[in-house]
Amino acid sequence: MENAEHELAFDAIRRQVGTIYAKALLGVTEKRGVTERAMDELESFIRDVLERLPKFEAVLSAPRVAIEEKQRLLDRAVGKTMQKDLLIFLKVTARHGRLDCLREILAEAKSRLDALRGRVEVLVESATPLDDAARDAVRARLRESLGAEVVLKVVVNPEIVGGLVVRVGDTVYDASVANRLERLRQSVLATARRSLRVSADRFAST
């Protein structure tokens, strides 16, 4: 129980860090007009460097490793290719010992950028992969319904049987076959329970 509470508190702190640093990053990149490039490069750095080289990430995140050493490692790894403002941001983040929060920073920055650009991120779960035509059709329908540009993310989930499950923020629109079958099952059970109650009442009154 204590461990679970500790993890929740730790996650909350990381999200707070993500919010603070995301604001700072966007504040700089928006002024320079390089936000989209910086977001792409930060995502690429996490995906192509940190996730492929976990030992390298561990060194960057280790409190015992000197700040100067972390900054030198960043220069050696991406100093010649990374967008300048993003590289400076990573070095500042290293100085404050927060390189372990880069994923939270990226997630919050992307969310805030979507809001700035009038975009809405939508997660779509499908029983089977969607081809480009299907994605375009779903995106167009969502754009019409939401009145905003849609950033579409598709996840294949065979458990939903068929149809789609659409998530917009905390709201879920479930149009899957599995959901319809579950609603039907619940309806049948409810009808059966009502019938049993009626039968029991009639029996008791005789």
Looking at the whole model, is its pTM more than 0.75? no
Domain edge (last residue) among 52, 87, 114:
114
Average pLDDT for the chain = 85
**pLDDT tier for residue 178 given thresholds of 50, 70 and 90:** very low
Last residue of a domain, one of 98, 114, 130: 114
The yes-or-no verdict on residue 192 having pLDDT over 50 is yes
Asked whether residue 7 falls in the same domain as residue 108, the answer is yes
Residue 146 has pLDDT above 60, yes or no: yes
Query: In the beta sheet, which residues pair with residue 152?
Result: 122
Last residue of a domain, one of 90, 114, 138: 114
**Residues 70, 145: one domain?**
no
DSSP 3-state assignment of 44? helix
Region of 156 please: left (phi>0), alpha (psi -120 to 50) or beta. beta
Q: How, if at all, do strands 149-156 and 119-126 pair?
A: parallel
Q: Report how many domains make up the chain.
A: 2
Question: Quick one: residue 97, left, alpha or beta (phi over 0 = left, psi -120 to 50 = alpha)?
Answer: left
Is residue 177 a contact partner of residue 162, using CB atoms and an 8 Å limit?
yes
The CATH number for 84's domain is 1.10.520.20
Domain extent at residue 196: 119-206
